[in-house]
Structure 1
Amino acid sequence: MKINNVKILMQTILGVAFVLVIFGCNQTVKKTTETKIKDSVYPSDVIPFMDEWKILLGDGTRSDSLVNFSKEGFFYVENDGETNWVVYKTPNSGITSRTSSNTRTELGQKKHWIPETGGKLTGTLKVMHVSTSGDARVAASYSVVVGQIHSDEGHENEPIKIFYKKFPGHTKGSVFWNYEINTAGDDNSGRWDYSTAIWGDDMSVVGSSSTSYPEEPQDGIKLGEEFSYEINVYKGIMYLTFTSEGHETIKFTKNLLKSDFSTKSDIPEQILKLYAAIGRDGIERDTAYAGEIQYFKQGAYNQTNGKSPEDNIVWSTGSETYGGDITKQYENGCYAEVWFKSGTVGPGTEPNIE
């Protein structure tokens, strides 16, 4: 009996031990899983406004739900040793939107508005890479758009696009903004962008040949150098503010309800020079973008594409695309990459006029 009791006791002890081991393993797995989930950082953790947006990625992926959403190689989080940044990355060639030949990994605002009611977008960012292939004669080469307002009706033109552009071999690039006219009439083929320099040059400064570059801007912005912008549309007026440490703060205002370009005599010399080769010399409707539905966009809208410059010397950059192979484009510098650490979106606010 004693021997049987000992056997029963030993079996009981072993059984309890087995259960404890299994329980402990399950707890370890659970803790490991929880740690992995906790350690995963999404763009929506870095910039909480992601529920206000949808996104199109450079491979054609779309999503209307960006909370806890990311995609490796396109939309994800990087840490520079101090700060988490949301990365927007897109190749020179991929799947594009309905209205563009250029790829993008870019947010599109869900809420729409008109200039009279307004809206405001801010962003703090650094451009980490622009395509190293392109044609220096083409104004859009080596550039990326990092923020814009886009119309959702009419000609679907853009009251503002904020660009970063850097020529190969240069240390500093230019930041400038373009205003696209809201062309009068039904024909939008005469549209053009008027470009204004912020730091460095405007879009019209190009090379004299496909491989010769203009002088490097002395007051430009380097790759990896942080800057911020604010687009504030309030009662039909667009107020722009651009800041960067070590650079002058630059401000602009632009009326979106009344055109500055409604007659042929209003067309700036920059446009006559830059767009002459492609015959774009249209005029804008008197009321500009008044009453037209708008929305914000933010991210990396790559302006460098593989289209022939002979067809359009302003926008067709003839860059290398490796037949659309995204991996090869990334390996050979044929992409745009922009990092944002903060941003806000909401209604327009009354500006502080100094």
Structure 2
Amino acid sequence: MVKIKLVSKVAIVTICLSTLFSCGGGSVRDDAVLPVAPVTPPVIPPTGIADPIFPPNNSVTNCNGLDFIERISVESDSVATSGFEASKAIDNDLTNESRWQSSENGAELTIDLGYRHLLKEIGTAWYMGDAQISTFDLFVSEDGIDYTRILTNQSSSGTTDALERFEVSNTITRFVRFVSFGANDAANMLGETALKELAVFACPLDVDVVPLQTQTVDLAQYQLDPNVAPGENFDLLTWALDTPRTDPSDGFSLRASERDLDQGFEDDDHFYTASDGAMVFRSTIFGAKTSANTSFTRSELREMLRRGNTSISTQGVNQNNWILGYQPNPGRPVGGRGGSLKATLRIDKVTLDGSQSHTGRLIVGQIHAGSDEPIRLYYKKFPNNERGYIYFAHELNGGEDIWKMVLGPTHSNTDNQPIFTANIDQGIALEEIFSYEIEQQGARIDVFIRRGDLNGPIIAHQFIDMEAENSGYDQTSVWNYFKAGAYSQNNTGDSGDANGVGSDYDQVRFYYLSNTHGEQ
């Protein structure tokens, strides 16, 4: 192995910022007892209504897709708690610190979508949403003057502070007015509104193809040195690495331990530092696999919470691995409960040959259990398409996969596999920087996609509820770990000559990677 010396320490990259994306959806239970009697708020048009981005074409009344809509602006006449203004309800930030808060009963805010859409769902994320129920009404308007109520006395579940999705009847609208009657009496917040985020899911009526906007990502923020090994730019003491290189001792994939990575391990063919300082993962179709039961090659990190303490086994319910948020307490120390995997990355290349299901398909992030995967996050792009899809599989414990589209069409075939159309206008292109967040808390796994870095707008969201799906992971014997990198999902393409020369490959570069967990 030879250490690579590369140039260019700082770069600025221009990428695309979409105003929409396609994603799946779900409904939220509506049988909760409402603790606060709602009142009918006055209908007050927002001030300073702007001209629509696209002139309305009233002859168009239907569209396909379930898209996350960019919210152009927000207005509110309700008095907000200092530091928690209404604008924080549409800032793409779901942290507790970034919320709209008001003590008014019937506190309202109105968001402008810029032009007409066919509204299909809304999403809400509430501060302390896992401890209390909040109620609200929803109004819509095409002109910002005359409003129609389409949801009455709707309530959050009270079981999660993640983004909950609520179905609505398909309704044409440009303006969405949200009227909150606050929370129940948990934490002494009776009647208090504390909304972390309000999302709108719809499809556009006044434009056939939503234009892409540009955003610049300054790579200098990551302070990556192109002249050092990945372990000097990233904290890799909590990761081990598997590559397609063969380990002569057993014939399987060569593993570099967390200590190896921390001490500067590099592989010129599969794992190295790029000229912009990024951590590069290259997985060739030809090469060694991690076990006899694995069908595909990978250049991929495996989480190691033991941080080089080899007295702790890599497998089992122990301090090297973690438990899901809804698992029973195993009665022994573990590496944490629940967790968050966040990455900013770009996909340089995907495979170009092979079967239709294999071509251009790879996994960039996972939650892996002992033998099954609660989530595998996929990217797929066909050779003739400009942009690719993002979707995930949730494998039932000892069972089949449930597939969820994150960024792409919502339809699936009879085998519940994603269906890929000829192209996807709002997908992720090769060499385009984007970010993903895999959040596990309670029984939910949420996936967020951002175009750009982790401060960029959320453009896609999807989730799985493991309790609702009877996934079978709520057992004391289950243990989990994150994975990230380039896990190729193509074994039917060009594997090169007898020595693998000319083998097709997937290549991904990471600019940021973090793995965190809650306390047991």
Q: Same fold (TM over 0.5)?
A: yes
Superimposed CA distance per residue, residues 193-223 of structure 1 (whole angstroms, 9 cap, x where no aligned partner): 2222222247958xxxxxxx84111111100
In the alignment, structure 1 residue 179 sits paired with structure 2 residue 383? no
Q: Which moved more, 1:172-181 or 1:125-134?
A: 172-181
Aligned twin of 1:147: 365
Residue pairs, 1:320-339, within 5 angstroms: 320-323=494-497, 325-329=499-503, 334-339=504-509
| 1:182 shift after superposition | 1.4
Inter-CA distance 119–89: structure 2 relative to 1 (3 Å threshold):
same
Aligned twin of 1:33: none
Aligned twin of 1:114: 323
- Contact 1:200/1:218 (CA < 8 Å) preserved in 2? no
| 1:295 shift after superposition | 0.4
In the alignment, structure 1 residue 131 sits paired with structure 2 residue 339? no
Inter-CA distance 118–39: structure 2 relative to 1 (3 Å threshold):
closer
Inter-CA distance 342–324: structure 2 relative to 1 (3 Å threshold):
farther
Greater strand percent: which structure? 2
Of the three residues 188, 195, 199, the one matched with 2:407 is 199
In the alignment, structure 1 residue 44 sits paired with structure 2 residue 231? yes
- Contact 2:338/2:518 (CA < 8 Å) preserved in 1? yes
Inter-CA distance 225–348: structure 2 relative to 1 (3 Å threshold):
farther
Greater helix percent: which structure? 1
Inter-CA distance 39–145: structure 2 relative to 1 (3 Å threshold):
closer
Residue pairs, 1:281-296, within 5 angstroms: 284=471, 287-291=472-476, 292-296=478-482
SS in 2 for 1:134: coil
- Contact 2:226/2:274 (CA < 8 Å) preserved in 1? no
Superimposed CA distance per residue, residues 25-60 of structure 1 (whole angstroms, 9 cap, x where no aligned partner): xxxxxxxxxxxxx9841111222x201011111112
Query: Larger C-alpha radius of gyration, 1 or 2?
Result: 1
Residue pairs, 1:259-274, within 5 angstroms: 259-260=468-469, 262=470
Inter-CA distance 220–324: structure 2 relative to 1 (3 Å threshold):
farther
Letter matched to residue 232 of structure 2: D
Superimposed CA distance per residue, residues 268-306 of structure 1 (whole angstroms, 9 cap, x where no aligned partner): xxxxxxxxxxxxxxxx5xx3454310000000000000x
Superimposed CA distance per residue, residues 102-129 of structure 1 (whole angstroms, 9 cap, x where no aligned partner): 0000000112111032122111111111
CA distance in 2, matches of 1:149, 1:202: 23
Of the three residues 435, 459, 462, the one matched with 1:252 is 462
CA distance in 2, matches of 1:84, 1:203: 39
Percent identity, aligned pairs only, is 26
Aligned twin of 1:29: none
Letter matched to residue 114 of structure 1: I
Q: How many residues align?
A: 249
SS in 1 for 2:241: strand
CA distance in 2, matches of 1:217, 1:289: 37
- Contact 1:182/1:289 (CA < 8 Å) preserved in 2? no
Aligned twin of 1:276: none
Letter matched to residue 113 of structure 1: W
SS in 2 for 1:73: coil
CA distance in 1, matches of 2:411, 2:496: 26
Of the three residues 477, 486, 490, the one matched with 1:304 is 490
Of the three residues 300, 323, 340, the one matched with 2:510 is 340
- Contact 1:115/1:237 (CA < 8 Å) preserved in 2? no
Inter-CA distance 238–303: structure 2 relative to 1 (3 Å threshold):
same
In the alignment, structure 1 residue 85 sits paired with structure 2 residue 278? yes
CA distance in 2, matches of 1:218, 1:177: 19
Q: Which runs of 5+ in 1 are unaligned?
A: 1-37, 184-190, 206-212, 263-283, 306-317, 350-354
Inter-CA distance 220–151: structure 2 relative to 1 (3 Å threshold):
same
Aligned twin of 1:104: 298
Inter-CA distance 201–302: structure 2 relative to 1 (3 Å threshold):
farther
Aligned twin of 1:272: none
CA distance in 1, matches of 2:378, 2:226: 34
CA distance in 2, matches of 1:324, 1:141: 21
Of the three residues 450, 459, 462, the one matched with 1:243 is 450
Q: Does 1 or 2 have the higher relative contact order (CA < 8 Å, sep 6+)?
A: 1
Inter-CA distance 167–39: structure 2 relative to 1 (3 Å threshold):
closer
In the alignment, structure 1 residue 57 sits paired with structure 2 residue 243? yes
Task: Give the superposed CA RMSD.
Answer: 2.5
CA distance in 1, matches of 2:364, 2:242: 14
SS in 1 for 2:244: coil
